[in-house]
Structure 1
């Protein structure tokens, strides 16, 4: 009864995903080929260093300006229009934009270059909400993390390739011609690939569209504020990542020169390490998430980012080594200079951790945002991303130029701020930290094998019933569930000093016996009914106590009372492999061993409310137990 789901590797070869992936990949390469070429030309055309910096900042500002001005319109248009048609239109516009761009490269007219940069930013503004909001319409829920990992990894590889290509060829004699041909070919190929993107119906075809910049921007933020707090904090987390990334990418040349003592090739190598590590982290995220949206990896990524930023800030400057700092090291010398390799290792650590951090957040936004407002929420995310990137420039200017800080001090400040931002997010949305605790326990300390987890509904109310083997059964069921579950917990355990914070974070429902505390007993059932009315999942252990011998005891009638009041489907679940563990009544007081600590969570098919009885549910769980025993044999 193993769930028959498509292997994730098939996603990249599928017609429903590959055209979109290729389109966004070509778009990212083209953006960076042109931007990098223009930045180098502007710097070399400048009469002074100050003029070069001015041109570079104007170009960066013009690219990001449309995100502030037109993201609201882009979000509304993506919501109101069939998406594949709109993507084709956006990509078609890229061709005349690149015609102007090619002319600007060949004539080296500064005003034409800056105009092209602005129009590229405008095109990206309208493409962004489409790229992310279309994914949930073409990929299954268990493929969403994989799809986002591929998009993120593809984007950073494209940024790397485009940057290197533009940097190298624009400095050659025939460089302007090569760059001009390249941007036109990439734009044409991007439009061609967009024609194969499957149809994606409009989420809200009757949405009122406004051309007013301020009203449209207000509209997308209104859509964002209407979402759950987990979505809002995910948007904040993604924007914070872009602030960190922008500072690192901007400061990388100075760090390499003044801390590592490396030359231009070392700068390029550092960029390769950082970009490829983000791509690797994005792809690894799907493996660590077991093809689901695993929020427990987000705090893990945040902790690693803080750690590696701190380590990078503590690396000694080149003056510590024998080679004088005024003689810049080649890449070969850097790799042969003892501990210098650690600079690259810490950069790679930041990149991999960034993949762990961002991919689940993007997937969560796509999954938990209402379909009718998904594009507008992503548009609001783009506005905040742009705002935080401007903030990164301001922070860098203040610390490095005004306060004259060393680059290592800025990295140390980022490490501290990242820790504070993470604490803020996980305090406001405890689900992130709860999933982290569950991930460490259920995934890292034990091997959890889930079967038929698709029987747990991805939306709508339902009750989960399971046999009760250990004190942490609820954690293993949560590890198998794609959604939060509110478990009924015996009140003395719920209010115990050691565990109360954890149960409160999990929004568990305390219940006492009717004889001991009839008022608390009634309130527990009222809370269950309210949760089910809101479409939540509720979990109960109908045995009412831990098993004393490993067998499944009689189910009490409380489940019938719940379903009589709230007629929703019931999903039977069997937990195997926990009897004899340190958390069961037959405790073996030893540390869990990864090799042998195998726990199975098997979900049965939903049982309609009119067929629910305590005895029938027990029989269903026993049947799942027999299936588990057969698998072991």
Structure 2
């Protein structure tokens, strides 16, 4: 029995979001984002000013090197411990309550914590310093799920990558500034007083800015909250397991990044001193390069993503991280740049050298690649997680991040202390492990690799101009139809779409030896002619119906064949049959600029020529199910061609 009612109404295919702004500076100045950005920036800045100052005080007060190492590791462990114990509770609280109020409460708590911290620095009581570090970790534990889950409530979907890029870049700039400030002033005669004033002032500014964060309704007010840390932690991981594989593996990918970052930052001073032969200022320069590069990469990610969540950049970032970790693992020839054996190079000497400067470049390249890698993953988690579970998923992510950071310490201890490896050998191990982890993630979630292939072919080999991409619904089922110009039309449509699309592909092409792996990865639906294989023909329509029932996008080319002369042929009635069974919106589009390319029939009898040309994807407004008719859809595609692409075709 056929369902004559639309699966989703017109309102169901759109989600109400704030209006987007055109660039990062516009978003940064908006009242819906700026207060959260400022709050997060000063929170990260304050954490690192205090932690760095305390770290140096603990080392200076230690009776021996072993005691200094013990205090340092104890402080790091106490900061991470709350993430293990209380992230589950933090995720549940963020899910159940209005978020801006919770943030204000948490930021207010930072003020008395910093009062205790100031007393600990002025009195230099070790136990009070360690207690403050634990309280700071506790506060960060409850703030983490809020700052990421609140973003989708205040920024549009096409701003998520932009917003995450700004948050990540601001965070790493704050980490850098906090580390430098804490290191410099705690060594001054009046340093403890300067640090005490600074942390109290930063906590106050953070609380004031938090008062301007817009209201953010609770995602799940009826959620059962528990004070049992084991039950709450189990709950957030149960919620994570209920998400799609892409969300789960994104969490793993982010946690892996924190493992790599923790190892690099921990090993950086020794690497610069013993492998590059640099002095203390060179260590600072390397820290500046690495931190600022992550910030730059986070901002560049939005530009390369064309203001969308572009998963194709994630494998690109992973490949770059592997390559530059390998280059960084190649030991430089220090003796060639030393006038006196065992002397340390200054910053000017490092910049004047040929080999040393490259190692700073490799550090910067790893940082930029890290921005490419992490920003789309954070945005994907926010977009593809249901609102009533987003905070708990982020809480589970925080637990895994903490676990991987502990793993980074274990890897460093085992390789450097037990096995007595050099730091370059450790970096080489990281490069290999990063490659293996990346292959694992992209094998489990082929969408990442597919988007990478599409990004490299459709974006890097061609200039793709997209118009009307907002006409593709943010969620819910729809059928995407367009003219059929080349063998790679589907790639350019996927490149223009913010969502995955399952294309209906002619069976002989789908099962071809050279392309079957790619179409299988794209979850394409094979179809054969009704006369040649009626069973496969009917199965394709069943698969399309099932995909639409699950709320997916399905793409078809109603002409049923490639154009032989560049014109738009008659649309077959298969689209009407699909909509009759599954009444969903139909989104028409026109592809321009591909006729005459190496993938079209125009080049059939001559040597294909690869050229960097302009391709247009013009997307029209959705057609309601009741208005779907093959000839009318063809007319809309022709109108799109005349309206948007006369200069291309």
TM-score tier by shorter-chain length is: over 0.9
Spell out structure 1 runs of 4+ moving beyond 6 A. Answer: none
Residue 315 of structure 1 is matched in structure 2 by 331
Pairwise CA RMSD: 1.1
C-alpha distance in structure 2 between counterparts of 1:273 and 1:12, whole Å: 24
- CA distances 1:532-556 after superposition (whole Å, capped 9, x unpaired): 0000000000000000010000000
- CA distances 1:395-443 after superposition (whole Å, capped 9, x unpaired): 0000000000010000000000000000000000000000000000111
Residue 611 of structure 2 is matched in structure 1 by 593
Residue 517 of structure 1 is matched in structure 2 by 533
Q: 2:476 is matched with which residue: 460, 477, 480?
A: 460
Equivalent residues in 2 for 1:329-368, closer than 5 Å? 329-368=345-384
The 3 A distance-change label for structure 1 pair 218 and 320 is farther
Residue 271 of structure 1 is matched in structure 2 by 287
C-alpha distance in structure 1 between counterparts of 2:645 and 2:198, whole Å: 61
Aligned residues: 628
The 8 Å contact of residues 20 and 159 in structure 2, kept in 1 or not, is answered as no
The 8 Å contact of residues 484 and 537 in structure 1, kept in 2 or not, is answered as yes
Per the normalisation by structure 2, the TM-score is 0.96
Give 1:591 deviation, angstroms: 4.3
C-alpha distance in structure 1 between counterparts of 2:349 and 2:642, whole Å: 63
Equivalent residues in 2 for 1:131-280, closer than 5 Å? 131-280=147-296
C-alpha distance in structure 2 between counterparts of 1:621 and 1:278, whole Å: 43
Give 1:394 deviation, angstroms: 0.3
C-alpha distance in structure 1 between counterparts of 2:645 and 2:269, whole Å: 59
For the residue of structure 2 that corresponds to 1:488, the secondary structure is strand
- CA distances 1:435-473 after superposition (whole Å, capped 9, x unpaired): 000000111000111001000011000000000000000
Greater Cα offset, 180-189 or 329-338: 329-338
Equivalent residues in 2 for 1:541-560, closer than 5 Å? 541-560=557-576
The 3 A distance-change label for structure 1 pair 441 and 453 is same
The 8 Å contact of residues 261 and 325 in structure 1, kept in 2 or not, is answered as no
Residue 7 of structure 1 is matched in structure 2 by 22
For the residue of structure 1 that corresponds to 2:379, the secondary structure is helix
Q: 1:482 is matched with which residue: 467, 476, 498?
A: 498
Give 1:338 deviation, angstroms: 2.2
C-alpha distance in structure 2 between counterparts of 1:284 and 1:123, whole Å: 31
C-alpha distance in structure 1 between counterparts of 2:53 and 2:382, whole Å: 34
Equivalent residues in 2 for 1:56-135, closer than 5 Å? 56-135=72-151
Give 1:630 deviation, angstroms: 4.2
The 8 Å contact of residues 488 and 538 in structure 1, kept in 2 or not, is answered as yes
Give 1:327 deviation, angstroms: 1.1
Per the normalisation by structure 1, the TM-score is 0.98
The 8 Å contact of residues 258 and 317 in structure 1, kept in 2 or not, is answered as no
Residue 7 of structure 2 is matched in structure 1 by none
C-alpha distance in structure 2 between counterparts of 1:252 and 1:216, whole Å: 37
Residue 620 of structure 1 is matched in structure 2 by 636
Give 1:318 deviation, angstroms: 2.1
Unaligned runs of 5+ in 2: 1-18
For the residue of structure 2 that corresponds to 1:561, the secondary structure is helix
For the residue of structure 2 that corresponds to 1:338, the secondary structure is coil
Residue 33 of structure 1 is matched in structure 2 by 49
Give 1:315 deviation, angstroms: 3.3
Q: 1:528 is matched with which residue: 522, 544, 547?
A: 544
Give 1:335 deviation, angstroms: 1.4
Residue 492 of structure 1 is matched in structure 2 by 508
Equivalent residues in 2 for 1:562-573, closer than 5 Å? 562-573=578-589
Equivalent residues in 2 for 1:383-462, closer than 5 Å? 383-462=399-478
